[in-house]
Amino acid sequence: LRGVNERYVLAPASVQLVGSRVASDPSKQLVLYRVTPPARITTRVAGLFPTTPGVEAWSGAHVQWLRSRCSGGTLAVKVSSDEKLFAKPSTLAVSGTTTAQTLSIAHSTVDRPITLTLAPVNGVCRVDFRISPTQQPSSVEPGNTDTRHLGLHFTQPVYTP
């Protein structure tokens, strides 16, 4: 956030800043932070499509969770699929500053909890999720116009130091 020297910063909910949360607008997925300039990011999630409150976000083929100023801990997330889109289980490959593993995710809407132990490298924790296959709803469901390539549903990742 080079050049952001304001005391208050409005950020997307997928980004966490060093500072205090002052207010949020879940319907717009925005958070207002009070920061000590310059503004600095601590956590970023990339690869999830925006969603409405109360609805789990869809991923594409790759999701990355990144936290600076990380001393280790755990990352917890729940994933699920959709039997309307997928006839077979999905593969979720996990890597980064955690133990690499490959999981099979049933093609159902039942959440599967995943907790990963984080081992920082130079003060940074990173988890990469690779999802296969992805599917376009428009090519599977008659009348559906959604052309995004969707992988799995993800809940908001929760970091615990």
**Per-residue pLDDT tens digits for 93-149:** 999 999 999 999 999 989 999 999 999 999 999 999 999 999 999 999 999 999 999
Torsion sign over Cα 108, 133, 85, 89? negative
pTM of the predicted model as reported, rounded to 2 decimal places: 0.84
* Beta carbons within 10 angstroms of residue 84's beta carbon: 13
